[in-house]
Structure 1
């Protein structure tokens, strides 16, 4: 699977978990096996939320970069790339949160998402 990753730092939607402001969002290719064992390809979007992601080693390190530097620029681009790579890998490996999925589905049906 091709690894086109989009990172967004501006005009971010509220965190789906707590409705707070995220530091960034990332979209990346994602796939899973359906009940027939067939691969389903799609895109996954994740937010780096200061509240919801607290305690995750990769997220804590990435949040520390924003706490010190406040923004991404030429001076910290290499460090940002390493930290975002570690955070995305951690998020890729995370399991589906059924409760959150139901909550987001309800928000979508009510046009709140």
Structure 2
């Protein structure tokens, strides 16, 4: 395990996958960081969605996706299995790196 604190976010509506825009299974806030051009560490938290369509081929996501399809919600009797699958997924999940070109294109569209 990485030891990173990953926060699971729940709300009244399922999260939307930012990649395919379909309904996601789980929303997590994940820590990220890099060192900028000035040598200063930049830290923050980004949101990552577990998506049955987009993440089906990810080795540690697939068992968690299957778990959601079988159980739908977490019940006390199933919580240990869920936590193990969640921890495995959390160890491999990361915030996608900033796509500077896409970011600049989006800013251009707003102006």
Fold conserved between structures, TM > 0.5 = yes
Instruction: Supply the RMSD in Å over aligned alpha carbons.
Output: 2.8
TM-score after normalising by structure 1: 0.75
Structure 1 residue 63 and structure 2 residue 48: aligned?
no
- 1:22 maps to what in 2? 24
Higher Rg of the two aligned structures: 2
Partner SS state of residue 75, structure 1: helix
- The DSSP-based 3-state class of the residue aligned with 2:31 is strand
Mark the runs of 5 or more structure 2 residues left unpaired by the alignment. none
Partner residue, 1:5? 6
* Other-structure match for 2:34: 32
Task: Flag the structure with more relative contact order, 1 or 2, with Cα contacts below 8 A and sequence separation at least 6.
Answer: 2
Flag structure 1 segments of 5+ consecutive residues without an equivalent.
Answer: none
Q: Distance in 1 between matches of 2:20 and 2:78?
A: 29
Aligned length: 105
TM-score when scaled to structure 2?
0.77
